Structure 1
Amino acid sequence: MKKLFVLFLAVSCTTAARAQTRLDSIKIVPIDTVYWKRSAQVGINLNQGSFSSNWKGGGVNSVALGAFFNAKSDYMQRRFNWTSEVALQYGIVKNEGQDSRKNVDRIFLDTKVGHRLSPVWLAFGNINFQSQFATGYRYETLPSGGERNVLISNFLAPGYLTESIGLEYKPTTYFNLQFGLGTIRQTFVIDDAVTVGEPTRYGVAPGKTVRNEFAFQLIANFDRNIAENLNLKARYQLFANYATLNAIDHRLDVSLTAKINKYVNVNLTGIVLYDQDQDNAIQYSQGLAIGFLYAF
């Protein structure tokens, strides 16, 4: 009996030791962090850019120095999804015989909350803000041979704040379609000086600083590595005011980024914009940049 008890005690100790070893090998991850995916990039670029003559952001064909910051976070737990994105860009150019001018200027903030209805459909609510940091000018040559700067944009002149609810189709991680069935957009023009020489105030009535629109909005997003170290990112936005469906706004942003090594990349960007509140013609912007990139 005594030998049986000693054998049972030895087996129990061995089993307990093995169980503790297995527990020690398990990596314990805080519950609040396992659902998060985060990324960010900061960089300084040497830029080449060209603009159409009616580009409302202001600018000049140039070689320039610019800086950018991009960040994105994605939270997913069961049926709940929360995605936020920040894109900030600013660049300046100094040509001989001219004052410093900007050639890129963008503020883009976006956050979206979704509830999954099926494997590919979500109900969502979204808030988006877009504007620029500094003044933008159109540069005109005078008959005397001099130059005149016409102020055409500034921070919150225009600025766009958009709230949208609707349905999202997301069949893959790199592509989604948002149908904003109920969308409200506020267009801000808080600097009256930008109306000098311009036929419109970006749709804001004279004497007012904000315009409200109720509309349908369609957004398509694509973000994928199409080859090793080569990423294609595109965002198309359609905005249709229910009161004026004959004047639909379109905007397409495309970015192609090639990663040379850990810290150097080449970036080709393009924007095509059609908005009759800004201009009756199509606007476009193109830029080529090479520079330092740090991702974390």
Structure 2
Amino acid sequence: MGKRVLLLSFFLFSFVSLQAQTVADTTWRRSLSTGLNLNQAAFSDNWKAGGVSSIALNTFFNGRANYKWERVSWDNTLQLQYGQLKNKGEGMRKSLDRLYLDTKYGVGFSNDWNVFASANFLSQFTKGYEYDIDDAGNDKLISNFLSPGYLTFALGAEYKPTPNFSLRLSPFAPRFTFLVDENVGENERYGVPPGDKVRTEILSGLVQVDYQKDFAANLNLKLNYISNLNYKRISFDKVDHRVNAVLTAKITRYINVNLMGNVVYDRDQDHSVQYSQSLGLGVMYSLEGISTGQ
């Protein structure tokens, strides 16, 4: 079931892409940023202040491709984040892992509003563990690619007064939660019923906010917020919330300081708020461009 949904989504997006390329007098706005951050600390064995020698490596890729023709728009976002951490005396451990894809096709009915259809996908690349769960130092597998994975389709209205801000309101937003790794399922189910690999929530709504801002020539913020509501369990404490933020400060053309943060509240995962944060100094390459076609 899960593979069929993903395959159908791929063909749908490919069809829309081909249709968009055949339209005359089009405008594309594209941007990308990719980089590598390195954190390192070293202590001698007799360092009295305490500390553990460590090295961490994080990489990221953020891409946007937004299309506009008269009242028609097609916006696409891809965000990839991955990191590894090595503390002295321990093996390599994952410190950052995010795979996010969003695509939206809209038709405007006023200067700031449009009706839209969209799809977004969220998962991680590799296995994730809860480390040292017992005195023997054993680890517990709690995630993997498509375990969990979330695919959400949405229909609704979007408020987009500027290219840097959008608010989507979707009263109909079916969501599919995937759990394809049975080894993960033995420890965490993420709301997927035992014996199943996919949980389907048809009667669901979605609120999504995308925002990016250049506060200065060398300081940029990208913010994404997604809220999912299952109508069968309407209660504020059962609404899922996800926030992803990336703050980038350029020191030189290629050297930057990068702060990334994620906040998740999802009772199918945990009854408490989850968060992750990373700060790194590294190299970054960014590119922006606008192209038109006749």
Q: Which residue pairs with 2:228 in the alignment? A: 239
SS in 2 for 1:243: helix
Matches within 5 A, 1:212-227: 212-213=200-201, 214-227=203-216
Work out the percentage of aligned pairs sharing the same amino acid: 46
The answer (yes or no) to whether the contact 1:109–1:128 under 8 Å persists in 2 is yes
Q: CA deviation at 1:140?
A: 2.3
TM-score w.r.t. length of structure 2: 0.81
Q: Which residue pairs with 2:97 in the alignment? A: 105
Q: CA deviation at 1:227?
A: 2.2
State whether structure 2 residue 262 is matched by structure 1 residue 274. no
- Rg larger for: 1
Q: Would the alpha carbon gap of residues 82 and 47 (structure 1) be closer, same or farther in structure 2, given more than 3 Å must change?
A: farther
Matches within 5 A, 1:1-296: 35-47=27-39, 63-143=55-135, 146-198=136-188, 201-213=189-201, 214-246=203-235, 247-296=238-287
Q: CA deviation at 1:63?
A: 4.4
Q: CA deviation at 1:39?
A: 1.4
The answer (yes or no) to whether the contact 2:26–2:69 under 8 Å persists in 1 is no
Q: Deviations over 1:242-275 (max 9, x none)?
A: 1111211111112211011111111112111110
The answer (yes or no) to whether the contact 2:67–2:73 under 8 Å persists in 1 is yes
Q: Would the alpha carbon gap of residues 267 and 33 (structure 1) be closer, same or farther in structure 2, given more than 3 Å must change?
A: farther
The answer (yes or no) to whether the contact 1:221–1:234 under 8 Å persists in 2 is yes
The answer (yes or no) to whether the contact 1:71–1:86 under 8 Å persists in 2 is yes
The answer (yes or no) to whether the contact 1:248–1:275 under 8 Å persists in 2 is yes
SS in 2 for 1:148: coil
Letter in 1 for 2:104: K
The answer (yes or no) to whether the contact 2:255–2:281 under 8 Å persists in 1 is yes
The answer (yes or no) to whether the contact 2:179–2:185 under 8 Å persists in 1 is no
Q: Would the alpha carbon gap of residues 169 and 33 (structure 1) be closer, same or farther in structure 2, given more than 3 Å must change?
A: same
Q: Deviations over 1:214-250 (max 9, x none)?
A: 2110011110111231111111111100111121111
The answer (yes or no) to whether the contact 2:26–2:68 under 8 Å persists in 1 is no
Q: Deviations over 1:55-112 (max 9, x none)?
A: xxxxxxx741122222110110100000111111111122222111111111111111
SS in 1 for 2:183: helix
Whole-angstrom distance in 1 between the partners of 2:82 and 2:278: 13
The answer (yes or no) to whether the contact 1:47–1:287 under 8 Å persists in 2 is no
The answer (yes or no) to whether the contact 2:26–2:67 under 8 Å persists in 1 is no
Aligned residues: CA RMSD: 1.7
Q: Would the alpha carbon gap of residues 243 and 93 (structure 1) be closer, same or farther in structure 2, given more than 3 Å must change?
A: same
Q: Deviations over 1:171-215 (max 9, x none)?
A: 1221110001110110000011113344xx000000000001121
Q: Would the alpha carbon gap of residues 32 and 66 (structure 1) be closer, same or farther in structure 2, given more than 3 Å must change?
A: farther
TM-score w.r.t. length of structure 1: 0.80
Q: Would the alpha carbon gap of residues 103 and 175 (structure 1) be closer, same or farther in structure 2, given more than 3 Å must change?
A: same
The answer (yes or no) to whether the contact 2:100–2:121 under 8 Å persists in 1 is yes
Q: Which residue pairs with 1:24 in the alignment? A: none
The answer (yes or no) to whether the contact 2:133–2:139 under 8 Å persists in 1 is no
Q: Would the alpha carbon gap of residues 276 and 47 (structure 1) be closer, same or farther in structure 2, given more than 3 Å must change?
A: farther
Q: Deviations over 1:106-138 (max 9, x none)?
A: 111111111011001010111111111100000
Q: Would the alpha carbon gap of residues 63 and 251 (structure 1) be closer, same or farther in structure 2, given more than 3 Å must change?
A: farther
SS in 2 for 1:114: strand
